[in-house]
Structure 1
Amino acid sequence: MRSWARPVLGPTAAALAITLLTPTSALAWGDDNGWSPSKPSGKPSGAVSGGQLSAKVTASSIVVTQSGGGGVAKPATGTLASVDPNWEPPACWYEPVLSPEELKAGVEKLKGTNNLAPVNSHLLWADELFVNHYDKGQDGGYKNYNLGEKGMFWRDVVRAGHEDDIAAWDCNRIMFWQDAGTVPDDPNAPTPKVLAAYAYDKIRVPATEIELKPMAKSTVNLPTWVWLDKGTFKEVKVRAELPNTGLWAETTAKPVALHLEPGTADAETYPASGDCRINEDGSIGTPYTDGDANETPPCGIRYLRATNGDPFRLTASITWEISWEGSGGAHGVLPDGTFETTRDVAVREIQSVNR
């Protein structure tokens, strides 16, 4: 069983309601090495309106802006899937969420409501717990919400859609103070690389609308030419900034190849790998012209049998090369991403006429 750091709670605090973020989950106290809660479930928010004290556990303060991506007629439509199935952005990290004044105001709103608010993404506290820890300084806490000090209180954020991910429990600290101009000495502290991965998760790319010739039907043993006009795909840049930290990262997705899957084993691709490189001008392949019917296309498919009623499902996926740069001169690469679309292709037999 995995162990977790126990929040600093004295006898008074322990006697009060300390609730997991879902009322159906039980809090099981373990041995002296820590406490072991049951697997998290649900996606709750705090019960007090008007302030970050009650913000959802997925309410990140990261500001995201995107530029580029597709031509005028091809707006960004989908998210990228990493080619590395074992990679994904972090499940959780810490962010500054409240100034001393904001924390005090939030606790004041909580008083007398019988409501709870999250002290981290796993625990909800009643007003008395907040007062004891952040106002009265009990159990290693703070005096008068650190009013007059320069800095902010930080709390963990869970990546949207990963509230049930056990990795999200790595960020198990209750809301803590961090001096201005510094970041926590913690493996889950935000870094430019964390922001770059967050930006990766926000990249939106255009659909892969390829051109085929012939358009309506392909013919057995004759090549079907595949291409995209120049300028169809452009670099996409997503910038992620975390306010009150000076941290930022810009992730760039550059289209580098089109991959074709014919939808049947009875087909050949050009090139044989099915990977058509993107040209310097942003085009892929070469447009079909009259007289090319028997030529080998630089990017295309040759079907070896006809469809019988149901068309073949041609899959076209663009590979995007991912790099990033960030504050402090940080930079690096992330796994390539792909975005695919499908298209029905009907294939007919060659018609011959006997005289």
Structure 2
Amino acid sequence: MPKLLIRRLGRGALASAVAVAALSAATGPAYAGRTIHPKPPQSSTTVLNKDGEIASRVETTTSPEETGSKPITSSDATWTPPPCWYEPFTPEEFDALLLAKYYKAGADHSGTVYDYYYQIRSKMEAIHYHKGDKGSWLVLVRNENLPPGSAAPCSSTTSWQWTGPGTPPPPGPVITAKMLSDVAYGATKLSSRQVTLSPAAGNQKVNLATYVKFDHPINPVWATAQLKALNLAATVVAVPSALHIDAGTSNADPQSCNYSFTPSGATYQVDSSSAACNITYRKATTGGAPYTFKAQITWNVTWTPTATPQPGVGERMNDGYSTSEQAVAVQEIEAVVKPTS
């Protein structure tokens, strides 16, 4: 406050001015006749994610990831993980949820959103959030475990709805164990392995069969998605079953082969030296780029409505794929001509 103004104010007026200034600084800006409170009280419960959206309470856990593991590739190219669903909240939880959104709007100084949640909370307080009534609030939440780059849209438009006995749920997916299995499937990460080629990858020969050898230990991979508040869970388990190889070019005959794994304890094996299918390159890479040879592991995937991994047990899901690549250089076979005597 300027010194000139202080000298002209009496002690009582000065105290009042300071009090008003302190109150204005503490309460923040006002919208539509209401003061925005940028900070929630210490007792409020945080139920929002890092983006300020309503957080799903679905938790995912997975088996230890191997170095280089990548999100599962489904055998169904059209499959996508669920982008959103309706999750039940108690009246008390829904009260805390709206309070968190209310204070979030205040912290962001978003007047329109703040006014919206002020009005919503006023209506809810008038009906006491249905506290003491039988039923739950079905709230639309986003899948927190979508793989990077997933563009799956959420088509549901109703943000929340009270659902009591005999009341139909809002249109859209309500969380179930089957849906949790899709969440777990989307959270699954698979490892890959390179195969050993004979002749070696850097010394392939035109018109000479390429033998493949695979001999690696691979553990089953699992992922669990659960909603503890409802005692609802699903666990997905993936187990290696077969190997698919691709020559990486149309200049091969055949261009690809499939082999079943021979399990030996925790080790999976393939030796194509006696198999009916072996890739044979028909054109050299001399003077050009090498071919990209691919080895793809097929994983059989099952799920159970539990939080316990059970390999080979449960309902089948789409197979999963994991792929490794290696550069292959192909050379012409040099003929050796012996001089005649």
Distance in 2, matches of 1:283 and 1:341, equals 16
Q: What residue identity is the alignment partner of 1:67? A: S
User: Does the 8 Å contact 2:298/2:321 carry over to 1?
Assistant: yes
Identity of aligned residues (%): 25
Q: Specify every segment of 5 or more residues in structure 2 that has no aligned partner in the other structure, as ranges.
A: 1-31, 33-37, 308-312
Q: Specify every segment of 5 or more residues in structure 1 that has no aligned partner in the other structure, as ranges.
A: 1-15, 17-46, 137-141, 288-294
Deviation at 1:179, TM superposition (A): 7.3
Counterpart position of 1:308: 286
Counterpart position of 2:78: 86
Match of 1:135 among 117, 125, 129: 125
Deviation at 1:129, TM superposition (A): 2.4
Deviation at 1:335, TM superposition (A): 1.5
The normalised TM-score by structure 2 is 0.68
The Cα offsets for residues 18-39 of structure 1, whole Å up to 9 and x where unpaired, read as xxxxxxxxxxxxxxxxxxxxxx
Deviation at 1:227, TM superposition (A): 2.1
Deviation at 1:283, TM superposition (A): 2.0
Alignment of 1:265 with 2:250, yes or no, is yes
Counterpart position of 1:227: 213
Match of 1:52 among 47, 64, 70: 47
Alignment of 1:335 with 2:335, yes or no, is no
The Cα offsets for residues 51-96 of structure 1, whole Å up to 9 and x where unpaired, read as 2257644843221111267xxxx53511122222232222321124
Match of 1:157 among 141, 157, 181: 141
Distance in 2, matches of 1:60 and 1:173, equals 16
Distance in 2, matches of 1:350 and 1:125, equals 79
Match of 1:323 among 302, 306, 313: 302
CA separation of 1:227 and 1:48: change in aligned 2, threshold 3 A? farther
> Larger C-alpha radius of gyration, 1 or 2?
2
Distance in 2, matches of 1:202 and 1:301, equals 34
Match of 1:253 among 235, 238, 257: 238
Deviation at 1:267, TM superposition (A): 1.7
Greater share of helix residues, 1 or 2?
2
CA separation of 1:344 and 1:111: change in aligned 2, threshold 3 A? closer
Q: What residue identity is the alignment partner of 1:308? A: T
User: Does the 8 Å contact 2:86/2:172 carry over to 1?
Assistant: no
Alignment of 1:169-248 (within 5 A): 169=155, 171-177=156-162, 187-215=172-200, 216-231=202-217, 233-248=218-233
User: Does the 8 Å contact 2:105/2:114 carry over to 1?
Assistant: no
Distance in 2, matches of 1:125 and 1:208, equals 56
C-alpha RMSD of matched pairs (Å):
3.9
Q: Aligned to 1:241, what secondary structure does the other structure show?
A: strand
Distance in 2, matches of 1:186 and 1:55, equals 27
Distance in 2, matches of 1:151 and 1:116, equals 32
The normalised TM-score by structure 1 is 0.66
Distance in 2, matches of 1:131 and 1:79, equals 41
Distance in 2, matches of 1:66 and 1:52, equals 24
Distance in 2, matches of 1:53 and 1:66, equals 23
Distance in 2, matches of 1:67 and 1:345, equals 33
